[in-house]
Structure formats: structure tokens, C-alpha cells
């Protein structure tokens, strides 16, 4: 079996993870988590989100978080910027990379960002254009690539269309989110085989939630098909506020353990990562969502 010689880990815990936890953390704790993740060797960390605190109170004060991060670090600290106001705030804080997101189901798009899929794409075009003109990199996310909490099974052609639109507006990469974690190795393989007909593997990433315990198996399929960028969340933080019952992203610790077993390079120090997972779990007063973190505690 052919696997990529190395894998880029996109650590989403400080953003996608924390924004879906019930407890809101202060700036100092968020910065400490990001610092520990950086020291563990993670080269790409989603550090915050420039959205309205009315809708995502856990991400309030992201500007203060970014202002305390080293601007010349080797690690990329990215931010989610769903609109022009968010982009402007991110740029004021010196953010070098931003992300936009779309869905593949109309119902989820309306529930999540209060507009249709087509409207969301049109809304993101000026954001991407402005970011690119300012020298920022833009990453794209697609939610519900396998299943939707409101509409059930998702049309693969819809995923392909949205992915092409995000790439066309300048996203260097599209992260495929199994937002409610219903994907299986078979459905992920079917999806990726379709997308890889038109899109090269280096422009795709996998973002798996572990609601049904399928995340690592789904990631393994993606690796076998040449995908070499994987999103994960320290201690399995997060979920999806618009998808009832959806548990967190796959734990970064569990992913690293699997990559170690496969002999795939990733540059992450597992003991330091486990320490970061325990740190944030204690701060949130919740159980650590990483099986590896618990086993090697």
C-alpha cells in the first residue's frame, strides 16, 4: 500500500474545537494552548475566528489572541474569516492565512450561515479576492461532504461543484469536512475517487469527525488515495453546534499515533502533544477525548 511519505497536520483545536465547547476560555489560556501546540511541533494551527461574538461567544477576543502570537514564527497561525469585516479585523492583527467555508446542503448552509450555498460562494469571493491581493493565503472548507443532519445523504456532485468553486476563487486547498461523522471508509473512498478525477490530491485535505468512531479509518482511506493534509483537534475538542450529537474532530494525539505506526513523517512530538491535550481538558473541566492521550497518561 502506498502512503504519503509525510503528512501536514492542520491543528483545529484552538478554533474549530474550542468554539464548540460549552466553556469559554480567557485569552491567556487560549494563548498557552497554542504555545504548547507550537512547542509540540505543529506547523499549522487554527488560532481563532473573526466572527460575531453574538453567534460564537467562545471566539470572542480572537484579536487579543493573535496579538500575543509571534508574527515571525515558523508555525502558520490561521483564522476563520466568514466576511469582509472579519477579514479586516484579521489583517489588523497580522494574520497571514485565512479560511472561508461553504456547505453542500442548502439546509445546513441556511442554519449555519443564514444563506444559500450560491449566496455563500458569492459572499466569499470578495473576501478571498481582498485577502489574496493583500498577500494572504486562503484555505477553503466544505461542511457535510458525506451527510447532512437535516437532509441526510449528500450528493457527491454538489461536493465536487463547491470544491471547484472554492479553488476557482483562489483557495489553495479545500478541506473536506465530515461534519457529523457519518462517513465510512466506503463512502469516503467513493467521494475521493470522484473528486480526484478533477482535482489533484495536493489540493484536498480530510477533516473527519469521530461521532461513529470512523474517523481514523476514514483518514486511512484518504492517505491511501494520496491525501497528505489532515485536520485534527487536540484532545478531540469540539463538535458542531448545528449538528446535534456530532462529537469532536478526530484527536490529534490518536492521529499522530497512527501515523507513527505507519512510518509517516509529521514533525510532532507526541508526549508534548499529549501534555497539551491534558492541559486544555483540565481547563475545560471535561474528559480528554483522545484515547491515546488517556492510554499514555
Tally the C-alpha atoms within 13 A of residue 264's C-alpha that lie toward its C-beta.
25
**Structural domains for the chain:** 8-295 (3.20.20.70)
CA gap 23, 57 in Å, rounded: 10
Q: Which residue has the cell 478531540?
A: 236
Nearest-angstrom CA–CA distance, 139 and 78? 9
DSSP string computed for 76-140 = EEEEE--SHHHHHHHHHTT--EEEEEEESSHHHHHHHHSS-HHHHHHHHHHHHHHHHHTT-EEEE
Candidates 183, 261, 252; CA nearest to 222 is 183
CA distance 225 to 4: 9
Q: Is the dihedral of CA 276, 13, 241, 175 positive or negative?
A: negative
Helices 156-168, 117-133: axis angle to 10 degrees equals 30
Note the pTM of the prediction, 2 decimals.
0.95
The 10 Å Cβ neighbour count of residue 81 is: 29
**How does pLDDT run along the chain (297 residues), one tens digit per residue?**
899 999 999 999 999 999 988 889 999 999 999 999 999 999 999 999 998 888 888 999 999 999 999 877 789 999 999 899 999 999 999 999 999 988 887 767 666 666 678 888 898 999 999 999 999 999 999 999 998 878 888 999 999 999 999 999 999 999 999 998 999 999 999 999 999 999 999 999 999 999 999 999 999 999 999 999 999 999 999 865 545 555 689 999 999 999 999 999 999 999 999 999 999 999 999 999 999 999 998
- What positions carry a catalytic annotation? 240
Quote the pLDDT of residue 151: 82
DSSP strand pairing (152-153 vs 147-148): antiparallel
Distance in angstroms (rounded) separating the CA atoms of residues 152 and 109: 14
Amino acid at each position: 500500500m502506498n502512503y504519503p511519505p509525510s503528512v501536514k497536520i492542520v491543528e483545529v483545536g484552538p478554533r474549530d474545537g474550542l468554539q464548540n465547547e460549552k466553556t469559554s476560555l480567557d485569552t491567556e489560556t487560549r494563548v498557552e494552548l497554542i504555545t504548547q501546540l507550537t512547542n509540540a511541533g505543529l506547523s499549522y494551527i487554527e488560532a481563532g475566528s473573526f466572527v460575531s461574538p453574538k453567534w460564537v461567544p467562545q471566539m470572542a477576543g480572537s484579536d487579543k489572541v493573535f496579538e500575543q502570537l509571534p508574527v515571525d514564527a515558523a508555525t502558520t497561525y490561521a483564522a476563520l474569516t466568514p466576511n469582509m469585516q472579519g477579514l479586516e479585523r484579521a489583517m489588523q492583527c497580522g494574520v497571514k492565512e485565512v479560511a472561508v467555508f461553504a456547505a453542500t446542503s442548502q439546509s445546513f448552509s441556511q442554519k449555519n450561515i443564514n444563506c444559500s450555498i450560491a449566496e455563500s460562494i458569492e459572499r466569499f469571493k470578495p473576501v478571498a479576492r481582498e485577502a489574496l491581493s493583500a498577500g494572504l493565503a486562503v484555505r477553503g472548507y466544505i461542511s457535510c461532504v458525506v451527510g447532512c443532519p437535516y437532509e441526510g445523504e449528500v450528493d457527491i456532485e454538489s461536493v465536487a461543484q463547491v470544491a471547484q468553486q472554492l479553488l476557482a476563487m483562489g483557495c489553495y486547498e479545500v478541506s473536506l469536512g465530515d461534519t457529523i461523522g457519518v462517513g465510512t471508509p466506503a463512502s469516503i473512498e467513493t467521494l475521493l475517487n470522484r473528486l480526484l478525477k478533477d482535482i489533484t490530491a495536493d489540493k484536498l485535505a480530510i477533516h473527519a469527525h469521530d461521532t461513529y468512531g470512523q474517523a481514523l479509518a476514514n483518514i486511512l482511506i484518504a492517505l491511501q488515495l494520496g491525501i497528505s493534509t489532515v485536520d485534527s483537534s487536540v484532545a478531540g475538542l469540539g463538535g458542531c453546534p448545528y449538528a446535534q450529537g456530532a462529537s469532536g474532530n478526530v484527536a490529534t494525539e490518536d492521529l499522530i499515533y497512527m501515523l507513527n505506526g505507519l512510518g509517516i513523517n509529521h514533525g510532532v512530538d507526541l508526549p508534548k502533544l499529549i501534555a497539551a491535550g491534558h492541559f486544555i481538558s483540565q481547563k475545560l473541566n471535561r474528559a480528554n477525548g483522545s484515547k491515546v492521550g488517556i492510554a499514555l497518561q
